[in-house]
Structure 1
Amino acid sequence: MDASVIVVGAGPAGLMLAGELRLAGADVLVLERRDRPSGESRGIGFTIRTMEVFDQRGLLPRFGAVETSEAGHFGGLPLDLGVLGAGHGAARTVPQSRTEAVLEAWARDLGVTVRRGQDVVAVTEDAHGVSVSVRGSEQALRARFVVGCDGGRSTVRRLAGFDFPGTPATTELFLADVRGVDLPPKMTADPSAGGLVMVAPLPGGITRVIAGERGAPPVRRTGPPEFREVADVFKRLTDTDISGAEPVWVSAFTDAARQVTAYRRGRILLAGDAAHIHLPAGGQGMNTSVQDAFNLGWKLAAVLRGTAPEDLLDTYHDERHPVGRRLLAGTRAQSLLILGGEEVAPVREILTELLAHTEVARHLAARVSGLDIRYDVGGGRHPLLGARLPGLALDRAGRTVTSTALLRSGRGLLLDLTDNATLRRRAHGWSDRVDLVTAAARDLPADSPANATTAVLVRPDGHVAWAAPGSHHDLPTTLERWFGPAR
């Protein structure tokens, strides 16, 4: 084997997955078609959930000063993310190129090998592994598993024969990062406006411009559009001439919405845009891709180590496919609000009324922030089951630590909040994979779901698999389900 896992694609999903696998001890080879980083930045920020993920791995300091905001939107309708009371705001103006650079540096620091200029042309699975052929090389590469993280036009998805149903594109929109223009930030998606216009400042004197005319048919392209096309549409929609600006890069996108029917076929898996494409409303695509990788990495590493059975990988599809399905439903709804004509005006009016109610605003804010995700980890009545463990301040032998810091290693965590020696003894057979920590929670708000909790078992991705009191399954059964048999 050339590696235990070959990851195809060095975008955010591929690099996040590679880092997660290497953190857990797996040897990883990343193959990227491009000779060098593209510098393009389709995504320009992080949702609150992605901020939590990066914080859990200690990655946030690598991004430097990050501007955060509690202002969001759903289909162009303003959303106050502050109603969530989260520990993080959403990050703004972090170019995807910066995200990729940070994740690649982290992955390389961990020992990941990244090979660029590797155009995959064949993927063949057999009983023992997967062969990957690269253009210009006579010798196929071998791995136990291959994960396609190679974007919306995924070669791995096509070669491996994944079904990719959905709705085709009905309209085309343009995106351009430009220099030399002075435009105020704006977002116009009103049905009377003739289309969508967005303007956002980015670091380094760059301005992002997104423009699309309502009903403009998609064009089959073999390359990026000319900047004059973007300037013409922007002029028609705003009466502002940006043709004299310097384009840094230009792209086009559509409202096509598709999702594979299965995230895994034997030893070949998909993550990120390779598994789902949609209108990039609210920048949720890159964030969902990172979270796909975060869910898969520890599971695949456990199977490779032999500490967990291979059917643990089935939970990747079981947990992330519904997330992708909800993502498509949400972005399609936003697409109607953003790109629809006067016929959607009554819907926008009613939604505006509903968003004045805190519970409605909280529901939609959680949805676009990724905070509504809860996995089925088994029966029980504890409010934390299946959810991410909220950041807790803990007193551990007189020292203050946080639950986030305790999860940095990428291992499981059994947090004993009442110094229960019997509990720790029952979990001792898994101590090679799960950290057993005794600590007392400090300064819990009255409405915290961690109140009256005596212990929690947390997976490496931060989701609670067991909590006491309230779980229907006992602790050893739950440990075996997620971490394999005891030593």
Structure 2
Amino acid sequence: MQRERFTGAQAVVAGGGPVGLLVAAELAAYGVDTVLLEPRTEVSDQPRATTLHARAVQSLARRGHLPRPPSRATGPATSAFHFAGLPGLTIAAPPDEPEPVLKCVQAVLERHLEARARAAGARILRGYHLTDAVQDENGVRVTAEGPEGPELFHAGYLVGADGARSTVRARAGIESDTFPATVSALMGTVTLADPEALPKGWHRTPRGWIVVKHDGVRTHLRTLDCGGPHPDRHRPVTLEELRREVARIAGRDIAMHSPRWLSRFSDFARLARTFARGRVFLVGDAAHVHFPIGGQGLSTGVLDALNLSWKLALAVRGSAGPALLGGYDAERRPLARRVLDGTLAQLALMRQGPEAEALRTVFTGLLADEGGGGHLSGLISAQDTVLPDPTGAGGPAAGTYLGNTTLSTPDGDTDVIRLLQDGRPLLLLLGEKADGLREEARDWADLLRIVEARPTPGVPYEAALLRPDGYLAWVPGNGALRQVMTAYFGPGATAG
């Protein structure tokens, strides 16, 4: 017999990977009554994503999920990154920002985010597999198979963070553009009889690629064969298959034993045609899947979660402008498509054959002239992202990301990262018009954080309205602050 529980939940999140847990942690921190359903009974230690790139790192720091960066008076921090295995590429972050590439084991990140979500009041239900979701104009009815049988949940909104085979996406009737597999890849953790037989790094031969990462006595291997997809992608991988594939690509036998986490994958790609339908939203792999070259999957999902969460929280609280939730799909889907295109370009550079070899040679020369890969750095790190201005009145900097900078206020020195950690929109007043702008924003005083600061080169405007995710919504120029506030946050306290 089906039982009903948590009928008053304001949001249900399906999927307890890092992206789903981040959504749950963010929504709960905003005071949204949130339930997360996850089939796994515990966090898996299987090696998965390990890389967070600059814009994701910066955004997580602004929400307090990562520590503030240390002061670096010596200038920008730089980190190496990979694009199709090409050497010599670097990502730079400004001096007051965190390191531009953060290595973090996915299991560690999941445990951290689950603790944050639980501490904020989210209900994390493990052993629950979502089986159905039906929405109407008032909410979403979610059916899940739990430890004691099927259970029914009612929520105002549903967020699908349930992976590439998303049940939420299917039940919402959201179609996808798909790109069939063209390559075959294997992955696993083993112990090499001679660790020096395969040095760490990217190994390219006429027969394919081997990527090697040593972790103490264990070695994490990935192979890539561009000759075509595997005829049976569901067949379990054996140690012997991985050993043969490594030997074929390397051109010599590499002795290995004690396998763990063996799996196969391909370059199959998917992009949902919309990331939102009614009261249902998709984030992470439920919305987009691409070949994991370049390590962008986790960062892209993190940015989905941070973009959606504050908008959804304001909608739950009745403080969202009429088009605010629609901005999630408009902002994130084009960026996910850009990531997918970038992975397709990397695979084109990694294939075998004279055409690919010529392309790689030309591309390497172009990067040498560019000096470290500036365009590719922006592509991988997302630091060149400019969001569309949904109001048309946000001014010349609307949609750009405000870098961290020290601000001198009547209460002492602070910075942008500190001021955004409570999750509220931030109105910075740095000029002579402070009193007038404070009055203009008076109807949203309970929603906003308003801070007066001395003018500084780090914020080259008399005033600035920041969204909770760190992007500028308004600077003086094209339109009135009140117009933008109304578009983002509704009519304010004087409605009616």
Could you say what secondary structure the match of 2:256 adopts? coil
After TM superposition, give the deviation of residue 365 of structure 1 in Å.
0.5
**Letter of the aligned partner of 1:325 in structure 2?**
R
After TM superposition, give the deviation of residue 288 of structure 1 in Å.
0.2
Distance 1:83 1:100 in 2: 26
Distance 2:261 2:52 in 1: 21
The answer (yes or no) to whether the contact 1:147–1:270 under 8 Å persists in 2 is yes
The answer (yes or no) to whether the contact 2:10–2:33 under 8 Å persists in 1 is yes
**Is it true that 1:427 corresponds to 2:441 in the alignment?**
yes
**Residue aligning to 2:202:** 187
After TM superposition, give the deviation of residue 178 of structure 1 in Å.
3.2
Task: Within 5 Å, give how 1:324-335 maps onto structure 2.
Answer: 324-335=336-347
TM-score (norm 1): 0.91
**Letter of the aligned partner of 2:417 in structure 1?**
T
Distance 2:411 2:318 in 1: 37
Q: Deviations over 1:279-315 (max 9, x none)?
A: 1111101110010010000001111001114532110
The answer (yes or no) to whether the contact 2:68–2:417 under 8 Å persists in 1 is no
Distance 1:69 1:211 in 2: 28
Task: Within 5 Å, give how 1:25-174 maps onto structure 2.
Answer: 25-61=31-67, 70-82=79-91, 85=94, 87-135=97-145, 137-174=149-186
**Is it true that 1:8 corresponds to 2:4 in the alignment?**
no
Distance 1:13 1:73 in 2: 23
Could you say what secondary structure the match of 2:81 adopts? strand
**Letter of the aligned partner of 2:303 in structure 1?**
Q
After TM superposition, give the deviation of residue 170 of structure 1 in Å.
1.4
The answer (yes or no) to whether the contact 1:257–1:277 under 8 Å persists in 2 is yes
Query: Identity over the aligned pairs, expressed in percent?
Result: 35
After TM superposition, give the deviation of residue 186 of structure 1 in Å.
1.2
Could you say what secondary structure the match of 1:440 adopts? coil
**Residue aligning to 2:213:** 200
Q: Deviations over 1:227-254 (max 9, x none)?
A: 3322221122124655533233122211
Which of these residues, 382, 399, 419, is aligned with residue 406 of structure 1?
419
**Is it true that 1:418 corresponds to 2:431 in the alignment?**
yes
Could you say what secondary structure the match of 2:214 adopts? strand
Relative to structure 1, the CA distance from residue 390 to residue 62 in structure 2 (aligned partners, 3 Å threshold; closer, same or farther) is closer
Q: Deviations over 1:22-45 (max 9, x none)?
A: 111101100011122121232111
Distance 1:301 1:42 in 2: 29
Relative to structure 1, the CA distance from residue 438 to residue 195 in structure 2 (aligned partners, 3 Å threshold; closer, same or farther) is same
**Letter of the aligned partner of 1:478 in structure 2?**
V
Q: Deviations over 1:156-210 (max 9, x none)?
A: 1122221011211112201213345624221134xx53112111234x6543211
**Letter of the aligned partner of 1:265 in structure 2?**
R
After TM superposition, give the deviation of residue 273 of structure 1 in Å.
0.5
Distance 2:185 2:12 in 1: 34
TM-score (norm 2): 0.89
Distance 1:18 1:6 in 2: 8
Q: Deviations over 1:406-444 (max 9, x none)?
A: 0001110001112511111111211211100001255x4
After TM superposition, give the deviation of residue 225 of structure 1 in Å.
2.0
Relative to structure 1, the CA distance from residue 268 to residue 340 in structure 2 (aligned partners, 3 Å threshold; closer, same or farther) is farther
Q: Which runs of 5+ in 2 are unaligned?
A: 1-6, 70-76
Q: How many residues align?
A: 472
Relative to structure 1, the CA distance from residue 479 to residue 240 in structure 2 (aligned partners, 3 Å threshold; closer, same or farther) is farther
**Residue aligning to 2:298:** 286
After TM superposition, give the deviation of residue 344 of structure 1 in Å.
1.1
Relative to structure 1, the CA distance from residue 418 to residue 362 in structure 2 (aligned partners, 3 Å threshold; closer, same or farther) is same
Distance 1:21 1:381 in 2: 26
**Is it true that 1:462 corresponds to 2:462 in the alignment?**
no
**Letter of the aligned partner of 2:56 in structure 1?**
T
Could you say what secondary structure the match of 2:87 adopts? strand
**Residue aligning to 2:3:** none
Distance 2:23 2:321 in 1: 20
Task: Within 5 Å, give how 1:335-350 maps onto structure 2.
Answer: 335-350=347-362
Relative to structure 1, the CA distance from residue 92 to residue 250 in structure 2 (aligned partners, 3 Å threshold; closer, same or farther) is farther
Distance 2:379 2:329 in 1: 20
Relative to structure 1, the CA distance from residue 205 to residue 399 in structure 2 (aligned partners, 3 Å threshold; closer, same or farther) is farther
The answer (yes or no) to whether the contact 1:386–1:465 under 8 Å persists in 2 is yes
**Letter of the aligned partner of 1:369 in structure 2?**
S
After TM superposition, give the deviation of residue 108 of structure 1 in Å.
1.2
Relative to structure 1, the CA distance from residue 59 to residue 242 in structure 2 (aligned partners, 3 Å threshold; closer, same or farther) is farther
Distance 2:259 2:50 in 1: 17
Aligned-CA RMSD value: 2.3
After TM superposition, give the deviation of residue 265 of structure 1 in Å.
1.1
